[in-house]
């Protein structure tokens, strides 16, 4: 049987994408297995921990590759192309939910005051989330790709469609800004 | 700050605190930022690494919905993208053509003659003779355009006419004596009554 059954787990993302375009369900299953969780968490963090919306967006993202697999740019790696799609979806979502952002931010700040006696790490995470929610979509995306997804500058440049130098300088100023804002919560640094 | 400087400082921020930097590294760092800025950024890097947010798992509902969409989409696609060789398509087209041609050839459509009235209006400024041909029952009238009636026919007509006259005279002269019958005409009934 192994002669006829492909071992999909050994195939690259790009090969799986080709098989998916031909209607291969196992190829789709394998891609889903690889990317569903990271993409869900990517959306979850960027949408202020809104699980329901994150799942909706995850579904929409995979629908795009089911319905239009031909839109995959074969000159790029699947991962960066997929994150570009996801990043664009997040940017669109940010444009349509400016008002809701304020609400989410208030919720985060409330949780901080409520949990004042929790551990420093948790406190830092909450404050960081609050500061991140104040950022524009591009900066937020930049932070996620760099620090959570741990992507290289080259990959980020490809996803955000800008020069590597631009990514580096924006990362530097973003880190500097966040460090300055979070400094008040780290008394030892004052 | 150029690209090289960024790469170096980025590595240092991840790996070393300010106190751990060498003299040359400190010199390079201080060209770009203050000691406090470096320390706070280094702390931020450390904190971010230490405090990775909790991760969530996608619900099974999402996958089942996507599977349905996948099946529906590719079922349609398979139907439209069915690949048939050109010669097969051509053969099918020829068969259909011949079938249609044969059906038309052997099928006789019933023909019916329809007389359509044609109205012609003519304006004339002189007397016009109009000849009307009327179809009549042969027993009562005999018409002939060239008046060439056969002799035997003439005799038959004359005999028939004489018989009819004699019959009528009999009625009038009272030769026909009897009672009126149910099938008698009104004139016959009157004649019987008078007699």
Instruction: Quickly list DSSP for B119-142.
Output: ------SS-----------TTT--
- The better pLDDT of the pair A83, B120 is held by A83
| Centroid of chain to Cα B55 | 59
A51 secondary structure, DSSP code: H
Confidence of residue B118 (pLDDT cuts 50, 70, 90): confident
Domain A9-97 has CATH 3.40.50.10490: no
Q: Which residues of B52-80 are buried (b: 16+ CB within 10 A; e: fewer)?
A: eeeeeebeeebbeebeeebeebbeeeeee
| Average pLDDT, integer, range B140-165 | 59
**Can you tell me the distance from the alpha carbon of B31 to that of B11, in angstroms, rounded to the nearest whole number?**
16
Distance from the A93 Cα atom to the nearest Cα atom in chain B, whole angstroms? 20
- The better pLDDT of the pair B37, A112 is held by B37
Task: Give which of B1, B3, B47 to mutate to test A binding, by max A Cβ within 10 Å.
Answer: B47
Hey, is the C-beta of A12 within 8 angstroms of any chain B C-beta?
no
Residue B157 has pLDDT above 70, yes or no: no
- The better pLDDT of the pair B87, A165 is held by A165
Confidence of residue A106 (pLDDT cuts 50, 70, 90): very low
**Can you tell me the distance from the alpha carbon of B74 to that of B80, in angstroms, rounded to the nearest whole number?**
10
Closest CA to A50 of A81, A93, A91: A93
pTM above 0.90, yes or no: no
**Can you tell me the distance from the alpha carbon of B38 to that of A109, in angstroms, rounded to the nearest whole number?**
27
- The better pLDDT of the pair A118, B41 is held by B41
Hey, is the C-beta of A124 within 8 angstroms of any chain B C-beta?
yes
Lowest mean pLDDT among A12-26, B28-42, B65-79, B128-142: B128-142
Residue A188 has pLDDT above 80, yes or no: no
| Average pLDDT, integer, range A80-98 | 90
- The better pLDDT of the pair A96, A44 is held by A44
Please state the ipTM of this predicted complex: 0.78
Instruction: Say which of B41, B48, B56 has its CB closest to residue A147.
Output: B48
- The better pLDDT of the pair A146, B180 is held by A146
Q: Does the distance separating the beta carbons of A36 and B71 come in below 8 Å? A: no
A144 secondary structure, DSSP code: I
| Average pLDDT, integer, range B124-136 | 70
Q: Does the distance separating the beta carbons of B70 and A28 come in below 8 Å? A: yes
């Amino acid at each position: 049987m192994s002669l006829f059954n492909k071992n999909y787990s050994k195939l690259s993302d790009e090969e799986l994408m080709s098989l998916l375009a031909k209607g291969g369900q196992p190829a789709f299953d394998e891609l889903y297995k690889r990317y569903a969780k990271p993409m869900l968490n990517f959306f979850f963090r960027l949408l202020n921990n809104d699980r329901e919306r994150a799942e909706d967006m995850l579904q929409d993202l995979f629908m795009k590759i089911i319905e239009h697999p031909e839109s995959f740019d074969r000159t790029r790696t699947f991962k960066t192309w997929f994150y570009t799609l996801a990043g664009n979806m997040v940017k669109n979502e940010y444009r349509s939910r400016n008002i809701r952002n304020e609400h989410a931010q208030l919720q985060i700040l409330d949780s901080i005051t409520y949990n004042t006696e929790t551990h420093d790490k948790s406190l830092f995470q909450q404050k960081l989330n609050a500061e991140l929610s104040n950022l524009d979509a591009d900066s937020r995306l930049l932070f996620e790709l760099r620090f959570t997804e741990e992507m290289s500058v080259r990959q980020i440049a490809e996803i955000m469609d800008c020069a590597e130098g631009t990514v580096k300088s924006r990362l530097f100023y973003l880190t500097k800004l966040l460090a300055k804002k979070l400094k008040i919560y780290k008394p030892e640094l004052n | 700050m150029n690209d090289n400087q960024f790469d170096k400082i980025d590595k240092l921020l991840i790996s070393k605190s300010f106190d751990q930097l060498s003299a040359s590294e400190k010199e390079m760092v201080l060209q770009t930022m203050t000691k406090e800025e470096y320390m706070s950024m280094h702390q931020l890097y450390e904190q971010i690494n230490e405090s990775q947010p909790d991760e969530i798992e996608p619900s099974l509902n999402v996958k089942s919905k996507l599977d349905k969409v996948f099946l529906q989409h590719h079922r349609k696609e398979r139907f439209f993208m069915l690949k048939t060789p050109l010669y097969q398509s051509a053969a099918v087209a020829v068969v259909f053509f011949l079938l249609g041609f044969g059906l038309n050839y052997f099928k006789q459509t019933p023909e019916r003659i329809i007389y359509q009235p044609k109205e012609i209006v003519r304006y004339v400024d002189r007397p016009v003779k109009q000849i009307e041909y009327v179809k009549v029952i042969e027993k009562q009238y005999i018409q002939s355009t060239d008046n060439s009636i056969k002799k035997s026919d003439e005799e038959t007509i004359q005999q028939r006419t004489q018989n009819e006259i004699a019959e009528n005279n009999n009625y009038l002269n009272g030769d026909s004596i009897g009672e009126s019958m149910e099938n008698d005409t009104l004139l016959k009934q009157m004649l019987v009554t008078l007699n």
